[in-house]
Structure 1
Amino acid sequence: MPVTSSGERLADTGPALRTGSLGTADIAFFVVSAAAPLTVMAGVAPLAVLLGGIGAPVGYLLAGVTLTVFAVGFTAMSRHVRGGGAFYAYITRGLGRGAGMGAALLALVGYNGMEIGVYGLLGTATQDTVHALTGTGIPWLPVSLAGLLLIGYGGYRSIDFGAKLLGVLLVAETGILVLLAAGVLIEGGAHGLSLASFAPEHVFVPGLAVVLAFAFAAFTGFESTVIYRREARDPARTVPRATYAAVGFLGLFYAFVVWIAIQAYGDAEVVAAAGGDPAGLFFAAITTYVGAWAADLMHVLIVTSVLASLLAFHNAINRYGLALAEEGVLPKALARVHPRHGSPYVAGLAQSVLGAIVVLAFAAAGADPYGQLLLWVNTPGMLGLMALQLLAAVAVPLYFRRIRHQEGVLRTLVAPLVAAVLLTAALGLVVTHLAEFTGASTTVNTVLAALVPAVFLAGLLLARRLRRRRPDVYQRFAAEPAADADAG
């Protein structure tokens, strides 16, 4: 919905997003699906065990606790900020329009990076699945392009269609991991169930830093709950509940599943097993404890897990594009909403075209779809979203200092400051361990990390340009509606 320079909302002039469409579970499905739990566990957790030892489950718990602390201030602010700009709106209210514009560009790059790179993973995951099931090979590029079309269609349809689809896919991918857990628990693991993973001598080891870096990356995108505020039922309650539900579920589920994988092999044997065949760790475990048919099913569900993640990020990107188009920062055409589906379909089409360009460019260059398309495009996206979390944590106490409110000091000051310190440490861990993520050279990793401050600086320069040449757009950027002021 357009806004005036004073921050007041104008009357609707065309189709709008479907308000009241999403409940707590629907929003949580979007967020948890974006994290792709099955893909994270089967594809990344074995590396966490290999590098961090049997204390790896605690790394996921620590990451979950940190992001829960962040959510305390973040959700408190969500009750007062009613716009559709999510991160950039929050950062603007606390740190000003310049920082908000930098955050807006960083959010676009971050979410696009997290989504577009995954088309490389879709191609390789499908290749692996087809080879595992039939013994034949297929090219990755047609699979990735077909995925682009499928995800574009999902974003074109209504948001409740996407929520229902993601709900089904999420239940399926978590269900196969629960099936593995049941098999391991019933059999008592390789040598009986052990809690050694939670003993301090196994947690506080040199590899803990790497485990924490992997763990924080596994939560990327959980904060996107606020993006769906305009489509949520009773957003003041629904959005915070969905945020806590998503981060709580991910933290506990990740830790539990990694512990289960350790029990499947035994405390003394699992690191060697992860080193021998990290990609096959979970498949071998489920074959042993459940059956070969379950391993085949897991292969298929990894593909659907990737598709669910793509659709969740695609929907988030579309709503960022819609909000920025309504503000006048992006072309006005991107603000069009489908008259029947209530979806930001033009923004979705633009995002799909961008994805196709990037995928085809990497293919034309002969790049590896996993080692380069996925990891090189995902990495700046992941770093960008972590930087936005940090900026949002800093913005919370500054925002509450300026408004009248009835929130407690724990939510508005203590928790955000603690979260800022913890997120700074987390971001530092990830940056200093980029080589473990990308497998690339120091030069490549430096460029990937440098993209984040470069994009933020570009946003600052854009804000300066708009303030001088288009002051009306600058003034209404993330403008505070009258309802927000009243809420304070």
Structure 2
Amino acid sequence: MPSIALMIIAASAPLTVVAGGVTTSFAVTGSLGVPLGFLLIALILALFAVGYTAMSRHITNAGAFYAYVAQGLGRPIGVGGSLVALVAYNTMQVGIYGLFGFQLSMFLEAKLGFVSPWWMWVFLCIVAVGVLGVNRVDLSAKVLGTLVALEFVAVIIFDIVSLSVAPEGVSMAAVNPATLFGPELGLILVFGVAAFMGFESGAIYGEEAKDPKRTVPRATYLAVAVIGVFYALSAWAFSVGIGPSQIVQASQEAGPDLMFIFMTEHTSVVVADIMTLLFITSLFAALQAFHNAVARYLYALGREGVMPSGFSRTSASGAPWAGSVAQTVIAAIVVAGFALAGDAFGAAESMFGELSFLYPVLTMFTWLTNTGAAGLVLLMGLTAFAVVGYFRKHPHNLSVWTTVIAPFVSGILLLVMFFMILGNFQLMLDQEVADATTFVLPGLIVAALIIGIVWGLALRRRKPAIYAQIGHGTEPGAYGTELIDVVPED
């Protein structure tokens, strides 16, 4: 359970969220309600987890959401959900590479005078993530566990320093409910939900857990509780350290550097440098967690014939090495594309000025991670309704709260949040004027869902034996033709 919980928390990248996510939320929303926003999102996700974890006790599948949606809403929608998951997890993972390469390159240049292209460090990181990815999850958990522990220590130190500095006193202004329930509520939720991405990934490791029916639910609840409370407390401490009257303006002016500027001023350069390094390792931890998620989705889809069977190959330790290698190749290709485009962008520096060096952050990181967040929110919304559908067919003597009320309400809230993300996508990309990316990027998510549904319907007509396996990869007889009899149910 601790290994899975650490993998979930690593995906949310605690130090990255506090340094980048909190300041971005304050800057864009212009509201002090960010700390309570984290708690509200945590409550929504905890509500979602009621049905989600109940379903995980009955379905153990590395495809997680894919299997849940397939068994709860029908196989075609399940295939659509699987493609949404692949697009979302891949874009989140590859997008984070942009920020990782930029931060490491800038840090080495500032401290050692070593000038290097951002993409060089990304390709080295891709190799490291790939090596860990082809091994059993325990190895990744040991590496990530150390990094996550150090992240928590760093943020706790920052919180303590913030509360001790408190230029306006230990003010409770940022935790006043009036700051949350205003016109900025929608924006607070839109920008805050990305901080929780990865919390849902516990079920992905179910097949590698010793006791998945107990481990996955416990790890999920532990992760959402720790993440929600920790982020809320840290965001409040951030407002106290800078001052409630100054936090919005300071966030708008300094962005993610605000934390490190603050620590330099009130501790020492050494402490700030250590935190910067931990910020970089925080990104590495998130990269590893999302890489593992993609590998396991590809494994589940390959095993059930929705994708080429080669993806179902595993190593001696049980890790899905073929899916891991595939994700590594995808990352390398996309990064190479952005690197080449970045060179062209840099060549036009006279046109873009000082923005050219921020290319991997302004494009690769911003575009892809926001796209991934939108996809995962949609996927969770579909899964919530799938819980209702599944327990309607298989009651299992559970309460109405667990099987209907909690998942239905959370599903409505998540879908509302998804449409809010779509409505604010231009703002999330920090665009003054909408352009093609404003529509193409979220369009990838919608297109993946539609293509998946069409592919599922095509499998039902052309390959009924494979269609019968969709979402049932670990069940007895899943590979037998006897399951063709269940096709008419969909």
Same fold (TM over 0.5): yes
Q: What is the letter of the counterpart of residue 190 of structure 1?
A: P
Q: Is 1:460 the equivalent of 2:453?
A: yes
Instruction: Give the corresponding residue for 1:4.
Output: none
- Looking at structure 1, the residues matched to 178 and 326 of structure 2 have their Cα atoms a distance apart, in angstroms, of 51
Matches within 5 A, 1:50-61: 50=27, 51-61=29-39
Instruction: Give the corresponding residue for 2:471.
Output: 478
Q: Is 1:242 the equivalent of 2:233?
A: no
- Looking at structure 2, the residues matched to 274 and 43 of structure 1 have their Cα atoms a distance apart, in angstroms, of 10
Deviation at residue 193 of structure 1 after TM alignment: 0.5
Q: Is 1:147 the equivalent of 2:125?
A: yes
Instruction: Give the corresponding residue for 2:482.
Output: none
Deviation at residue 338 of structure 1 after TM alignment: 1.1
- Looking at structure 1, the residues matched to 477 and 13 of structure 2 have their Cα atoms a distance apart, in angstroms, of 36
Deviation at residue 374 of structure 1 after TM alignment: 1.6
On the 8 A contact 2:10/2:148 being kept in 1, the answer is yes
Q: State the Cα deviation string for residues 446-469 of structure 1 (Å, max 9, x = none).
A: 111121111111011111221222
On the 8 A contact 1:52/1:205 being kept in 2, the answer is no
SS in 2 for 1:60: helix
Q: What is the letter of the counterpart of residue 325 of structure 2?
A: L
Instruction: Give the corresponding residue for 2:320.
Output: 344
Q: Which moved more, 1:130-139 or 1:215-224?
A: 130-139
- Closer, same or farther: CA 107–75 of 1 in aligned 2, 3 Å: same
- Looking at structure 2, the residues matched to 381 and 387 of structure 1 have their Cα atoms a distance apart, in angstroms, of 10
On the 8 A contact 2:22/2:235 being kept in 1, the answer is yes
Instruction: Give the corresponding residue for 2:375.
Output: 384
Q: Is 1:370 the equivalent of 2:361?
A: yes
Q: State the Cα deviation string for residues 117-174 of structure 1 (Å, max 9, x = none).
A: 1111111111232234235432101111111111001112221111111100101112
Instruction: Give the corresponding residue for 2:329.
Output: 353
Matches within 5 A, 1:8-19: none
Q: Is 1:446 the equivalent of 2:439?
A: yes
Instruction: Give the corresponding residue for 1:184.
Output: 162
Deviation at residue 432 of structure 1 after TM alignment: 1.6
Q: State the Cα deviation string for residues 268-323 of structure 1 (Å, max 9, x = none).
A: 12222222212321112222343222111111111101110001111111111111
Instruction: Give the corresponding residue for 1:13.
Output: none
Matches within 5 A, 1:402-413: 402-413=393-404
SS in 2 for 1:330: coil
Q: Which of residues 220, 231, 238 in structure 2 aligns to 1:261?
A: 238
Q: Which of residues 42, 54, 60 in structure 2 aligns to 1:82?
A: 60
Q: Which of residues 282, 286, 289 in structure 2 aligns to 1:312?
A: 289
On the 8 A contact 2:60/2:203 being kept in 1, the answer is no
Instruction: Give the corresponding residue for 2:248.
Output: 271
- Looking at structure 1, the residues matched to 97 and 177 of structure 2 have their Cα atoms a distance apart, in angstroms, of 39
Question: Which runs of 5 or more structure 1 residues have no equivalent in the other structure?
Answer: 1-23
Instruction: Give the corresponding residue for 1:28.
Output: 5
Q: State the Cα deviation string for residues 350-394 of structure 1 (Å, max 9, x = none).
A: 111111111111112226211111222223222111111000011
TM-score after normalising by structure 2: 0.90
Instruction: Give the corresponding residue for 2:190.
Output: 213
Q: Which of residues 111, 119, 142 in structure 2 aligns to 1:133?
A: 111
Q: What is the letter of the counterpart of residue 375 of structure 2?
A: G
SS in 1 for 2:33: helix
- Looking at structure 2, the residues matched to 112 and 354 of structure 1 have their Cα atoms a distance apart, in angstroms, of 8
On the 8 A contact 2:162/2:242 being kept in 1, the answer is no
Q: What is the letter of the counterpart of residue 462 of structure 2?
A: R
Q: Which of residues 335, 339, 354 in structure 1 aligns to 2:312?
A: 335
Q: Is 1:62 the equivalent of 2:40?
A: yes
Could you say what the CA RMSD is over the residues aligned between the two structures, in angstroms? 1.8
Q: Is 1:197 the equivalent of 2:197?
A: no
Deviation at residue 68 of structure 1 after TM alignment: 0.6
Q: State the Cα deviation string for residues 85-139 of structure 1 (Å, max 9, x = none).
A: 2001000111100100101111111111111111111111112322342354321
SS in 2 for 1:54: coil
SS in 1 for 2:319: coil
SS in 1 for 2:58: coil
Sequence identity (%): 38
Q: What is the letter of the counterpart of residue 423 of structure 1?
A: L
Question: Which runs of 5 or more structure 2 residues have no equivalent in the other structure?
Answer: 346-358, 479-490
On the 8 A contact 2:299/2:312 being kept in 1, the answer is yes
On the 8 A contact 2:61/2:203 being kept in 1, the answer is no
On the 8 A contact 1:52/1:210 being kept in 2, the answer is no
Deviation at residue 188 of structure 1 after TM alignment: 5.3
SS in 2 for 1:138: coil
Q: What is the letter of the counterpart of residue 341 of structure 2?
A: A
Deviation at residue 483 of structure 1 after TM alignment: 10
Q: What is the letter of the counterpart of residue 461 of structure 2?
A: R
Instruction: Give the corresponding residue for 1:230.
Output: 207
On the 8 A contact 1:117/1:375 being kept in 2, the answer is yes
SS in 1 for 2:167: coil
Q: State the Cα deviation string for residues 388-438 of structure 1 (Å, max 9, x = none).
A: 100001111111111141211111111011101211221122222212321
Q: Which of residues 21, 28, 50 in structure 2 aligns to 1:44?
A: 21
Instruction: Give the corresponding residue for 1:297.
Output: 274
- Looking at structure 2, the residues matched to 94 and 100 of structure 1 have their Cα atoms a distance apart, in angstroms, of 8
On the 8 A contact 2:315/2:321 being kept in 1, the answer is yes
Q: Which of residues 433, 445, 448 in structure 1 aligns to 2:424?
A: 433
- Looking at structure 2, the residues matched to 63 and 445 of structure 1 have their Cα atoms a distance apart, in angstroms, of 25
Q: After the TM superposition, which parts of structure 1 deviate over 6 Å for at least 4 consecutive aligned residues? A: none
Q: What is the letter of the counterpart of residue 227 of structure 2?
A: L
Instruction: Give the corresponding residue for 1:92.
Output: 70
SS in 2 for 1:354: helix
Q: Is 1:118 the equivalent of 2:96?
A: yes
- Looking at structure 2, the residues matched to 201 and 83 of structure 1 have their Cα atoms a distance apart, in angstroms, of 43
- Looking at structure 1, the residues matched to 286 and 459 of structure 2 have their Cα atoms a distance apart, in angstroms, of 35
Paired residues in the alignment total: 460
SS in 1 for 2:30: helix
- Looking at structure 2, the residues matched to 203 and 381 of structure 1 have their Cα atoms a distance apart, in angstroms, of 25
- Closer, same or farther: CA 483–164 of 1 in aligned 2, 3 Å: farther
On the 8 A contact 1:52/1:211 being kept in 2, the answer is no
- Looking at structure 1, the residues matched to 60 and 255 of structure 2 have their Cα atoms a distance apart, in angstroms, of 44
- Looking at structure 2, the residues matched to 119 and 280 of structure 1 have their Cα atoms a distance apart, in angstroms, of 18
Instruction: Give the corresponding residue for 1:156.
Output: 134
